[in-house]
């Protein structure tokens, strides 16, 4: 009997059938279940993220090699993760998207190898790496091989760090060791229905006796508001992809490039609204985001970690088309004081901006570091030092605007001239001093006030004198700690001109492996 030799048409038909079967992932029933839960499939997420028809898949036919615990011959299409390259707004990205319809998105040897290959491709091509997490965790049947796979992912996260931007999207479960890979990336975007934690409710109950839900320990409210692990919260999968696209628009593709530059306004007119935005009474609060919106292009400010350590505001914006990182005290929350969480939040953001050539604009209205036993026991000295380290180590253009209070060590930590800020400007409302006038007078003139015929009147008189002599920007300007005192209405123009002048800044530091930030 003569063996039938397949024609090229038959082979192509076989290929197309295989591709269609694999691209269905875990099958239509599981896809329907994914949709019923309000989630997109892995391939639908990729379609929502990248430019139309730009995705080129890699590793479609990859399969596991496990033969243990009933895994032999068990199909795992694409081994539960879709990997490849595409473009976002015309710029190359590499990505990996876990497919929960295939084995619950569990990660085994081949699954992790596919992710690592994309990470290494990002490194070679200087393109951002994006990973979408939706997985039940390590593939237990593969034992040490799955753990080894995670270890390789972690190692490559570190190799990519500071070279290309890394963004993690949490669109489903992300538990156990799997959560450490997102923690090693630059930004985490979590959907409201997703959960991320190291130990789940059942393990916590068994070990500690505490009863909690997955949402309580791993939902976006916990991981954004309390732990500060998450940077953005998305309503659903499509919103997560939109946030990712917007974030990428502010970032360069790698550490050797400048961020994308957009078209600038021809003329910047004075903004008189800024002249009255700061309350005359320094005890009154205001929302610093109102200031930010007046300084940046089209009032477009992408705030990072909006609900964590709200006493400091960080985020991305553009000034005359140039991407900038904004760091600003928030007087509307805890009077804008710096504490442990605010210091960590700001320092990490500063270091990211420095790694990727994004100039830093710092808006200062800070009464000091938060006093208290809890803060001291928590290591406020160590955490506050992170800001000093981050700003001092940063070589990107650094421009500081002192709007109102700038007291003591917190003034220094907010990128003072002494931390090598390139430009420090002040508004006439600024109060730059070791401490507030009231506290300073109580220390310096304690005896004089006590011996006075009218201690209360004498104290007010001395406070007024202290403010006139020291709590003004002019004393700092005369000592060249402030480059200029300007009308607030001129701030946007000053920032734009300074960014243009400093664009070619080059700064060299002592040769070393790396500095030792107080972790």
Is it the case that residue 461 has pLDDT exceeding 80? Answer: no
pLDDT at 143: 79
Q: Are strands 398-407 and 423-426 parallel, antiparallel or unpaired?
A: parallel
> Model confidence at 462, in pLDDT bands (50, 70, 90)?
confident
Is 176 tagged catalytic?
A: yes
Query: What percentage of residues in the chain have a pLDDT greater than 90?
Result: 76
Helix axes of 144-160 and 109-125: crossing angle, nearest 10 degrees: 10
303-307 LR contacts (CB < 8 Å, sep 24+): 304/187, 304/231, 304/232, 304/349, 305/224, 305/228, 305/230, 305/231, 305/345, 306/224, 307/224, 307/225, 307/233
What confidence tens digit (pLDDT) does each residue in 83-118 have? 999 999 999 999 999 999 998 888 888 999 999 999
Query: What percentage of residues in the chain have a pLDDT greater than 70?
Result: 99
Instruction: Compare 455 and 198 and report the one with higher pLDDT.
Output: 198
**What would the two tokens of residue 232 be?**
């953005």
- To the nearest 10°, report the CA torsion of 168, 169, 175, 177: -10
322, containing H or E segment: strand 322-329
Yes or no: say if 328 and 369 are a contact pair by the CB < 8 Å rule: no
Instruction: Compare 86 and 448 and report the one with higher pLDDT.
Output: 86
Average the pLDDT over each of 98-102, 452-456, 468-472 and give the range with the smallest value.
468-472
Yes or no: say if 383 and 421 are a contact pair by the CB < 8 Å rule: no
Q: Is the dihedral of CA 404, 405, 410, 411 positive or negative?
A: positive
Is it the case that residue 445 has pLDDT exceeding 80? Answer: no
Selected catalytic residue, list 27, 143, 162, 177: 177
pLDDT at 185: 98
Q: 38-250, which class in CATH?
A: alpha beta
Yes or no: say if 302 and 250 are a contact pair by the CB < 8 Å rule: yes
User: Quick one: which of 189, 165, 225 has its CA closest to 48?
Assistant: 189
Instruction: Compare 348 and 3 and report the one with higher pLDDT.
Output: 348
Yes or no: say if 114 and 96 are a contact pair by the CB < 8 Å rule: yes
Is it the case that residue 264 has pLDDT exceeding 80? Answer: yes
Provide the residue ranges of all domains of the chain, joining segments of one domain with +.
38-250, 272-435+472-502
CA gap 252, 261 in Å, rounded: 10
Yes or no: say if 411 and 366 are a contact pair by the CB < 8 Å rule: yes
Selected catalytic residue, list 162, 176, 408, 439: 176
pLDDT at 413: 97
Is 430 tagged catalytic?
A: no
> Model confidence at 137, in pLDDT bands (50, 70, 90)?
confident
Yes or no: say if 76 and 59 are a contact pair by the CB < 8 Å rule: no
Report, as an integer, the average pLDDT of 459-487: 85
DSSP 151: H
Q: How does the average pLDDT of the chain come out, rounded?
A: 93
> Model confidence at 2, in pLDDT bands (50, 70, 90)?
low
CA gap 295, 290 in Å, rounded: 9
User: Quick one: which of 167, 183, 59 has its CA closest to 118?
Assistant: 59
> Model confidence at 256, in pLDDT bands (50, 70, 90)?
very high
pLDDT at 41: 96
What confidence tens digit (pLDDT) does each residue in 20-48 have? 999 998 899 999 999 999 999 999 999 99
Instruction: Compare 434 and 302 and report the one with higher pLDDT.
Output: 302
Q: E strands, 140-289, where? A: 166-170, 173-175, 187-191, 195-197, 232-234
On the CB side of 310, CA atoms within 13 Å amount to: 10
Instruction: Compare 438 and 494 and report the one with higher pLDDT.
Output: 494
Domain at 272-435+472-502: CATH code: 3.90.226.10
Distance set, CA 313 to CA 79, 351, 392 (Å): 41, 15, 20
Is 26 tagged catalytic?
A: no
pLDDT at 258: 96
pLDDT at 508: 86
Is it the case that residue 1 has pLDDT exceeding 60? Answer: no
Selected catalytic residue, list 346, 409, 413, 477: 409
Is 368 tagged catalytic?
A: no
Is it the case that residue 447 has pLDDT exceeding 60? Answer: yes
What confidence tens digit (pLDDT) does each residue in 412-426 have? 999 999 999 999 999
Yes or no: say if 85 and 58 are a contact pair by the CB < 8 Å rule: yes
CA gap 356, 83 in Å, rounded: 25
CA gap 69, 504 in Å, rounded: 60
What confidence tens digit (pLDDT) does each residue in 364-411 have? 999 999 999 999 999 999 999 999 999 999 999 999 999 999 999 999
Report, as an integer, the average pLDDT of 338-345: 98
**For the chain, what is the radius of gyration of the CA atoms?**
27
> Model confidence at 161, in pLDDT bands (50, 70, 90)?
very high
Q: Are strands 398-407 and 431-433 parallel, antiparallel or unpaired?
A: parallel
């Amino acid at each position: 009997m003569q063996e039938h030799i397949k024609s090229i048409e038959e082979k192509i038909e076989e290929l197309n059938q295989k591709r269609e079967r694999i691209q269905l992932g875990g099958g239509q029933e599981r896809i329907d279940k994914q949709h019923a839960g309000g989630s997109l499939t892995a391939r639908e997420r990729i379609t929502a993220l990248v430019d139309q028809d730009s995705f080129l898949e890699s590793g479609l036919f990859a399969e596991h090699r496990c033969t243990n615990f009933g895994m032999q011959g068990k199909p795992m299409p694409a081994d539960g993760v879709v990997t490849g390259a595409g473009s976002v707004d015309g710029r190359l990205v590499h990505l990996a998207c876990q497919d929960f319809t295939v084995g619950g998105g569990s990660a085994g040897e081949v699954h992790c190898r596919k992710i690592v290959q994309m990470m290494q491709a990002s490194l070679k091509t200087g393109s951002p790496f994006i990973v979408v997490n939706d997985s039940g965790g390590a593939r237990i049947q593969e034992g040490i091989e799955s753990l080894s796979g995670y270890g390789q992912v972690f190692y490559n996260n570190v190799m990519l760090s500071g070279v290309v931007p890394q963004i993690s999207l949490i669109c489903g479960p992300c538990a156990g060791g799997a959560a450490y890979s997102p923690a090693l990336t630059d930004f985490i975007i979590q959907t409201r229905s997703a959960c991320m934690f190291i130990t789940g409710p059942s393990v916590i109950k068994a070990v500690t006796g505490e009863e909690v839900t997955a949402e309580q320990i791993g939902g976006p409210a916990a991981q954004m508001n309390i732990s500060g692990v998450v940077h953005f919260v998305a309503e659903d999968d499509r919103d997560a992809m939109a946030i990712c696209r917007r974030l990428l628009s502010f970032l360069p593709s790698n550490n050797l490039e400048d961020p994308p530059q957009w078209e600038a306004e021809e003329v910047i007119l004075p903004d008189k609204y800024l002249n009255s935005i700061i309350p005359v009474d320094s005890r009154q609060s205001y929302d610093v985001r109102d200031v930010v919106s007046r300084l940046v292009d089209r009032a477009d400010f992408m705030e990072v970690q909006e609900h964590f350590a709200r006493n400091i505001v960080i985020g991305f914006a553009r000034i005359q088309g140039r991407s900038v990182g904004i760091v600003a005290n928030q007087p509307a929350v805890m009077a804008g004081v710096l504490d442990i969480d605010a210091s960590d939040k700001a320092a990490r953001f500063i270091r990211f901006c420095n790694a990727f050539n994004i100039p830093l604009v710092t808006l200062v209205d800070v009464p000091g570091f938060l006093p208290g036993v809890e803060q001291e026991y928590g290591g406020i000295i160590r955490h506050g030092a992170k800001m000093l380290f981050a700003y001092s180590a940063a070589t990107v253009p650094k421009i500081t605007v002192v709007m109102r209070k700038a007291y003591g060590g917190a003034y220094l930590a907010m990128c003072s001239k002494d931390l090598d800020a390139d430009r420090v400007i002040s508004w006439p409302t600024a109060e730059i001093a070791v401490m507030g006038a009231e506290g300073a007078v109580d220390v310096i003139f304690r005896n004089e006030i006590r011996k006075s015929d009218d201690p209360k009147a004498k104290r007010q008189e001395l406070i007024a004198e202290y403010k006139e002599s020291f709590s003004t920007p002019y004393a700092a300007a005369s000592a060249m700690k402030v480059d200029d005192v300007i009308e607030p209405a001129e701030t946007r123009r000053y920032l734009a001109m300074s960014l243009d002048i400093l664009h070619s800044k080059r700064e060299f530091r002592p040769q070393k492996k790396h500095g030792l930030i107080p972790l």
